[in-house]
Structure 1
Amino acid sequence: SLVAAVDRLKDTFCRQHALDLIFTEEGDSSLTADMYINMDKNVEELASLPSPIFQELFVKLNRMASLTADMFAGRERFATLLSMRLTETVILWLSEDQSFWDDIEEGPRPLGPMGLQQFYLDIKFVSCFAAQGRYLSRNLNRVLNEIINKAVQAFSSTGMDPDRVLPEDEWFIEVCHEAMERLSGKPKAIDGDRELNSPTASGSAQSISSVRSHGST
């Protein structure tokens, strides 16, 4: 049927774009556990931007939304579904990448405070832009929470307390919104009002925050 054909096309499109994001032309992964584990050797202060792969995902989604809005005028739902499918494809890949989690959970070097902060920021960034774009599906939100939970538990297993090294959620949300403004070329909101209290932003923040609070139990 036409619906099935369109679904297959969406899957192929999203899989190809996800692979382009995740792998370099040489076939190396742009999303590895070492990205986060090595941060505690090289970084001395809190990250103020999401990792490049997640910045690139946001820019790609923005560009895709503009294109589909032009090509499928009046079919905004199609554009939203495409954005949701691409985001889910990337996040599910991360969730199911066994080598990534083996390194995080059982690797020779543990995930340190800076690495956890960056990882938390990256996942929070996906949650924030998906909520803003209205494609934070229940499934995507669940997987994001599971990913955060796994990282927090891996960090806790080293004997460190994640709540002592992670800033308040408001800080993460502010950094995410600043990154979205910068990457989308939009001017900064007056008086720093970035709609942090909008239902979608606060809802996604709360869901991840609650995982953090109970991640070590």
Structure 2
Amino acid sequence: MSKHADRVHAFLEEALATGGYAPGAKLPTERALSEQVGVPRSAVRDALSVLEARGVVTRIVGSGTYVAERAPPLAPSGRREVSPAEIMAARLVVEPRLSLLIVTHATASDFERMDACNRNAEAAADFEAFERWDAALHQVMAEATHNRLIMDLYREVTEARDRTEWGDLKRRSINAERRAIYEADHRVIVAALRARDSMAAERAIEDHLKTVRSNLFGG
């Protein structure tokens, strides 16, 4: 399933990058995309969940999926580059504390999206696919707070991961054993959130991020 979802993701990203769909445009239905790309509808659904988590598309129940209306990009001088260490420090401060809002406001649909991210991360055939679904899970968790300010702030974290040497650093630090640990951590986090246990979820998120930090930077 992960390979199919990756194909849909790549297809839509290319279409968006080349102007195939303008901001505010309605995307084809899941069925139409499934037939166009030649993949199951479940793969289309999972790929759209990732794009929605990243703020690229929005889905309106009973209406369809639309390309998000994006603000004009900042000029290069208006967006400062940040280091992987700064990203990690910010995540350790912010992410564990989201637990209370998530357990208070998350819906069944939010948990289904988290499950989809975990399922596809575990099925990912390469590092790039795994990292994409990993980032999507954390973005979906921020979206599950249903707090627009937090959602916007966390998109900055996701975009910073894409802009910096974060990916190269993580690629060098990861191996099969560490990936398996990350996957297990993610399952524990989602289970605690679904159980509405904010304290257990906060501990699980903090422990997970500290493990990632140790693997990235040593110590």
TM-score, length basis structure 1: 0.29
TM-score, length basis structure 2: 0.29
